[in-house]
Amino acid sequence: MTKTLSIATTLTLALTAFASGAHAQDALALGAQAPMRTHRMRNVDGQQVSIQSAAGERGTLVIFTCNHCPWAQAWEARITELGNAALGRGVGVIAINPNDPGEYPSDGFEEMQRRHRAAGMRFPYVVDETSNVARRFGATRTPEVFLFDRRGRLVYHGAVDDNAHQPDQVQQRHLADALDALVAGRPIANAQTRSIGCSIKFRD
């Protein structure tokens, strides 16, 4: 009995170790190309847009975000401002909503259209209808950004900045700094950052 139990424990521990390691490994590595670049997604204006078609000559900013998440909402104005400014600097921008509106009705298409309009986003805000784009990126939360250089290599992954709820107390403007460096052709000092956010509600 003791032996059986100890085998069971070992097995459980082994499975546990496997399970705990299995989640965080999948995030896109720096230097990697964007997955599913040609995959077409429905934009708020009804047009089909891909990451490739949204790409800019100096780079591409991919933002996983959504409607319902308070952190996405808290960062929305800054995301809009940075995204709109990036367009003017030759960096393509695409915001992607990977959430299952079955889980959160407010993550549906019409609310995307409303928020896009209200925020004044000049870049596409598209639906990841299978959540597979987010899966392939290894995105886990909203908002979460991925910045690619002009050759399509990932140069920054992570947070918008270090303070969602108090914009006036931001100390690290992670994404703004990354965009500045990208446009200036400088290496990005802090290429991977993290922030608190809402778990992505992946479709089954």
Partner 1 sequence: MTAVGMRPVWVALALTACSGAADPEPPAEPPAPAPAAEAAPEVAAESPWIDVDATSVRETLREHPAPALLVNVWSTWCEPCVEEMPDVIATARRYEGQGLGLALIAAEPPTRRAEALSFLREQGAPEPSYFKTGGDDAFIEALHPEWSGALPATLLLDRERRVVHFWPEPVDEAALRGPIEAHLRTARPGTGTEAEAGR
- Site membership for partner 1, residue 159 (CB under 8 A): yes
- Site membership for partner 1, residue 145 (CB under 8 A): no
Measured CA to CA, the distance from residue 179 to residue 31 in angstroms comes to 16
- Site membership for partner 1, residue 47 (CB under 8 A): no
Region for 29 from its dihedrals, namely left if φ exceeds 0, alpha if ψ lies in -120 to 50, beta otherwise:
beta
Restricting to residues 71-130, name those near partner 1 by CB under 8 A. 71, 74, 104
Cβ proximity to partner 1, 82 vs 159, nearer residue: 159
Measured CA to CA, the distance from residue 180 to residue 140 in angstroms comes to 25
- Number of shown-chain residues binding partner 1 (CB under 8 A): 38
Which amino acid is it at 113? Answer: Q
Residues 6 or more apart whose Cβ sits within 8 Å of residue 116: 44, 95, 125
- Site membership for partner 1, residue 166 (CB under 8 A): yes
Using CB atoms within 10 A of its CB, is residue 45 exposed (0-12), middle (13-18) or buried (19+)? exposed
Region for 50 from its dihedrals, namely left if φ exceeds 0, alpha if ψ lies in -120 to 50, beta otherwise:
beta
Instruction: Kindly indicate which of the ranges 80-88, 111-119, 159-167, 180-188 contains the residues binding partner 1, using the contact rule CB under 8 A.
Output: 159-167
Residue tagged 């403007």 (tokens) = 173
- Site membership for partner 1, residue 189 (CB under 8 A): no
Instruction: Kindly indicate which of the ranges 38-46, 47-55, 90-98, 168-176 contains the residues binding partner 1, using the contact rule CB under 8 A.
Output: 168-176
User: Considering only residues 133, 147, 179, 200, which one is a binding residue for partner 1 as defined by CB under 8 A?
Assistant: 200
- Give me the residues that bind partner 1 (CB under 8 A), please: 1-2, 5-6, 9, 12-13, 16, 20-21, 23-24, 27, 70-71, 74, 104, 140-141, 144, 158-159, 162-166, 171-172, 174, 193-200
